[in-house]
Amino acid sequence: MINTVVAVAVGGALGALARHGVAQWSLQHWPKAFPLPTLIVNLLGCLLIGILYGLWLQRPELSPLLRQTLMVGFLGAFTTFSTFSLDSLRLLENGEGVLAITYILLSVCIGLLATWAGLSLTR
């Protein structure tokens, strides 16, 4: 039990740091009008969870502790659907309806596609 808590905490800390790094990198390279950092981490997180899930389907003998570290800890802290919701709401409240709908559709549709692609890579 304590090992799992520590593993999830370590994974979460690394996921949060990675999310921060992606945000800093993307803000230096693209305009801030579109919430690109959140889109990047959500889509990348979807791809990674698809890959990891596929690996554990193919190799159930892989460590459950590693699964908790990566899927619950790292990806739980790395992906940002709460931020996604806030970004969408703020775009709508600022009268940017088309941009908000574009952002929502890209996040959900490409996120599903990325998850499928990650899972397909491991099958």
Q: Establish whether 76 is an annotated binding residue.
A: yes
Q: Binding site annotation covers 11?
A: no
Torsion over CA of 54, 75, 80 and 26, rounded to 10 degrees?
Answer: -100
DSSP 9-50: HHHHHHHHHHHHHHHHHHHHHS-SSS-HHHHHHHHHHHHHHH
Q: Which residues are annotated as a binding site?
A: 76, 79
Q: Which residues are annotated as a binding site for Na(+)?
A: 76, 79
